[in-house]
Amino acid sequence: MVENFIGVGVAFQPKFGYFRRVVSKVFAVITIIDDIWDVNAIDELPDYMKICFLALNNFVNEVAFDFLKENGRNIILHIKKVWVDLCKSDLVEATCSTNKQDSIRFEEYSNVICYVLTIFRLVNDLGIAKREKVTGDIPKSVECYMNETGASEAKARRQINSLICETWKEMNKEVSNSSCSGSFMEVAVNLVRMCMCEYQHGDGHIVQDDETKKRIISLFCQPIA
C-alpha cells in the first residue's frame, strides 16, 4: 500500500491515474531490487531473481511504448541509459549528469530533479540509517558524516537535517523562478513532501510504523466526514 500512498500524495488529481499506476510500479520494483542490481551478472543470477529483472525489463518497455503512442517519441534508450548510470554511480550525480546531456531537453529540469533527489536521499538516510546499520548495509550519510568529522550521531543527524532545509530553500527558489511545466514542478515538490512524510517516524517504507499505517488507512479506507 505504501507505493500507492506515495503515488496519490504526489499527484492526486483524477486525470493523473496513469501516472499513479506507473509510480506505484516503479516504487514496487525499486523496493524489490534495491541494492542488488548488477547488469553484468544477470546470467549468473538464480531463476527467482531473473524473473524480477524480466519484470523490470517488461515494465520499462511498457512505459516506453505508452510514451511512443502518446508523444511519437522513442525514449527506450534514454530510460536504459539512466538506469545503467544509476546502477554504476551515485543516484543524484547520475541523474543530474544524464539529464544535462539528454537530447530531450532535460537540462531545463535538472536542477529541480537534483534538489528532489538530494532531499529524497538524505531523508531516506535519516529514516533507515539505524535499521540498515544493524543489517550491515552500506554506510548512509549519517555514518559518513560521523566518520569524516568525528561527530556524534546526534550532531550528524542535525547536520543532515540542516542540509535538507537548505536544499528545500534552493528548490523553492528554483520552482518559484522557473518557466518549466507547472505540473512537473507540483509533482516534484509533492514527491519530496511524501518522502518526508514516509520517513518522518523512521523507515515507513520497509518497516511501516503505526503512524504510517494510520495515514494509509485514513486515506484509502476511512470515509471523509
Tell me if 127 is assigned to some domain: yes
User: Residue 152 is placed in which grid cell?
Assistant: 556524534
The C-alpha atoms of residue 33 and residue 24 are separated, in whole angstroms, by 15
Give the model's pLDDT for residue 98.
47
Is pTM beyond 0.75? Reply is no
State the average pLDDT for the chain.
75
The pLDDT of residue 150 is 92
Question: Is 26 within the bounds of a domain?
Answer: no
- 47-106, pLDDT tens digit by residue? 777 777 777 777 778 878 888 888 888 887 777 666 655 554 444 444 444 444 444 556
| Structural contact between residues 137 and 125, judged by C-beta atoms closer than 8 angstroms | no
The C-alpha cell of 63 is what?
512505459
Domain that holds residue 196: 110-206
7: in domain? no
Identify whether 191 is part of a domain: yes
Number of domains in the chain: 1
The verdict on residue 162 lying in a domain is yes
pLDDT exceeds 90 at position 167 = yes
Confidence class of residue 204 from pLDDT cuts 50, 70 and 90?
low
What is the enclosing helix (H) or strand (E) of 102?
none
